[in-house]
Amino acid sequence: MVWKFGGSSVGDMDRLRRVAQRLVEARRAGADVVAVLSAMSDTTDDLLEMANVLTAQPDARELDALLAVGESMSCALAAIAVHELGERAVSLNGRQAGVLTDTAHGNARMQSIDPARIVAALEQGLIVLVTGYQGVTDDGDVTTLGRGGSDASAIAVAAALGLPECDIWTDVPGVFTADPRVVPDARRLDRLSHEAMLQLAEAGAQVMQPRAVELAAAHGVAIHVRSSFTGEPGTWITEVREENDMFETARIIGVAHRRHDPLYQVDGLTPAQVSAALDGHGLPVGSIIGSPGELRFTSPGAEPQAVIAALGDIGAAVAVHDEELGSVSVAGDACGNRSEVTLRILESLERTGIRPVLVTSTPSRVSCHVASGAVDEAARVLHSAFGLHTDAAAPQPVGVALAN
């Protein structure tokens, strides 16, 4: 089995001991145990702050070498805790675990995993602790996989070992119809598809990294998101979509948001050039609005300094056109194709006095850029507008009247 524990799950010594105890119990029950660990709470931010004391733009290679220390600490400490509990464990960093990536420092993508050393350790009866968030290039340079990259590490390890599922242990009991810290009546979902989870993750739901969900879908790995503090069953994310008996009906799964989702501006480039520059740095491409000689675009979830650096590498000066923007999105089956979904979103926001600056849609998502200060209220309004508080297991349909 492969389990992944997030930073909050190993946030201090007591929590790390509890994770070690859980691993030991599973091993003594007869399981082969692989655990992928994140850095302890705030460690990555603390390391980044140290680098920023020295320079506003740390060298990307050296920054990766620094940030990868956090996961190595977690795994080594967890292995020590396992030994203290009477079992044997080994900690493996990205190179030792066979994680090969491209050279996009700070947002590298995994190319392959050779799990030979993991398998050998399991055959010796060891609990294997693998560092999340990191790998190495062909030249042996350390790389990191972007925020939330430990999720992708865990899914990739599970796939490389030929396992059908992976447990993501975190500080929440599953996937909700919205962030319960913002929307108090958000409900936990028992099950949803990889596609639905991907839409929510890309829109800002922080419970899963989008790339991890893509990996899981590509390799047929089911994900079980659950709380490391209770151990109770959480939310299953699987490749099998739920039945929808309502013909040509949009199903709304949930609402996700980003409090900060700026609109950028660059002059003299084509949309293809902007997309290539962002992609070359592993950054997402959102909306692109073109006019003669001027482009405005979004890069959801990317740090502004990373966007500016990516365009700077091709000699372009990018400005943050509107920094005080966030986004709120409604996700679901075919909702982006239904005009009545967009209409309900816009009317609901208008009644609350929230005016979108930009509205975009994909087949499974409708997103609105609004003032950052209005994002939380917009999320609550849309969650209520689609009745998502009524039933966690059955996202609300938006009916479509068929023409005769």
Lowest mean pLDDT among 139-143, 234-238, 264-268, 320-324: 320-324
pLDDT level of residue 393 (50, 70, 90 thresholds):
very low
Confidence at residue 397, expressed as pLDDT on a 0 to 100 scale: 59
H/E stretch holding 223: strand 222-227
Confidence at residue 57, expressed as pLDDT on a 0 to 100 scale: 85
pLDDT level of residue 395 (50, 70, 90 thresholds):
low
| CATH number, span 263-322 | 3.30.70.100
pLDDT level of residue 339 (50, 70, 90 thresholds):
confident
Confidence at residue 292, expressed as pLDDT on a 0 to 100 scale: 67
91 alpha carbon, distance to own chain's centre: 24
At 137, list the tokens: 């290039």
Q: What angle do CA 11, 49, 370 make, to 5 degrees?
A: 85
- Asked if 2-171 and 263-322 have one fold, the answer is no
Confidence at residue 249, expressed as pLDDT on a 0 to 100 scale: 57
pLDDT 10s digits, 351-364: 999 999 999 988 88
- Please indicate whether residue 292 or residue 38 has the higher confidence score (pLDDT): 38
pLDDT 10s digits, 82-127: 999 999 999 999 999 999 999 989 989 999 999 999 999 999 999 9
| CATH number, span 2-171 | 3.40.1160.10
Q: Write down the domain spans for the chain.
A: 2-171, 263-322
pLDDT 10s digits, 197-213: 999 999 999 899 999 99
pLDDT level of residue 403 (50, 70, 90 thresholds):
very low
Residue 159 phi/psi, 5-degree rounding, is -65, -40
Give dist(CA 94, CA 110) in Å, integer: 11
Confidence at residue 281, expressed as pLDDT on a 0 to 100 scale: 83
Residue 220, phi-psi category: left (phi > 0), alpha (psi -120 to 50), beta (remainder) = left
What is the residue-averaged pLDDT of the chain?
A: 91
Exposure string of 278-315, with b = 16+ CB inside 10 Å and e = fewer, is beebbbbbbbbeeeeeebbbbbbbbeeebbbbbbeeee
Confidence at residue 337, expressed as pLDDT on a 0 to 100 scale: 67
pLDDT 10s digits, 24-76: 999 999 999 999 999 999 999 999 999 999 998 899 999 999 999 999 999 99
From residue 318, give the alpha-carbon distance in Å to each of 296, 306, 313.
9, 11, 11
Three-class secondary structure of residue 172 per DSSP = coil
pLDDT level of residue 336 (50, 70, 90 thresholds):
low
Residues above pLDDT 90, as percent of the chain: 76
Confidence at residue 160, expressed as pLDDT on a 0 to 100 scale: 98
Residue 377 phi/psi, 5-degree rounding, is -65, -40
| Total-model pTM | 0.88
At 400, list the tokens: 């479509």
119: burial class by Cβ within 10 Å (0-12, 13-18, 19+)?
A: middle
Contact predicate 131/145, CB 8 Å? no
Give dist(CA 307, CA 301) in Å, integer: 10
Mean pLDDT of 159-172: 96
